[in-house]
Amino acid sequence: MSVVSFRNEVMAALARAKRRNQAELERELMAAGPECTFDSIHLVRAAVRVAREHGIVLKPTPAIAPSFKSVEGVATLLSSLARGQDAA
């Protein structure tokens, strides 16, 4: 699955968690920068939810921690893990 597909799913899960309109939330985050920086427990929960839906196991390690600073980072991580690549 592509980074863009994961990005859309993470953004949708994040919008649901925040009870926000997805398009509005995405516009806000894009205005702050192309990576959609969102340093929050909501991003972690959204990432875990999307990972589970795709059968991806997220193991908390120092190697993946930097990925949880933005929607783009999470989407890239999930895409790599889905393709069987190492998270480091």
Q: What is the structure's pLDDT at 86? A: 66
> Does a structural domain hold residue 46?
yes
Taking CA atoms, 30 is separated from 16, 26, 37, in Å, by 18, 6, 8
> Does a structural domain hold residue 42?
yes
> Does a structural domain hold residue 88?
no
* CA-only gyration radius of the chain, Å: 12
Contact by Cβ (8 Å): 3, 76: yes
Q: What is the structure's pLDDT at 39? A: 65
DSSP 70: B
Q: What is the pLDDT of residues 10-22, one digit of tens each?
A: 999 999 998 999 9
Higher local confidence (pLDDT), 56 or 30: 56
Domain count, the chain: 1
d(CA 48, CA 63): 16
Contact by Cβ (8 Å): 15, 21: yes
Q: What is the structure's pLDDT at 76? A: 96
Higher local confidence (pLDDT), 50 or 59: 50
- Determine the structural domain holding residue 48 and report its residue range: 3-82
Rounded to two decimals, the pTM is 0.85
> Does a structural domain hold residue 87?
no
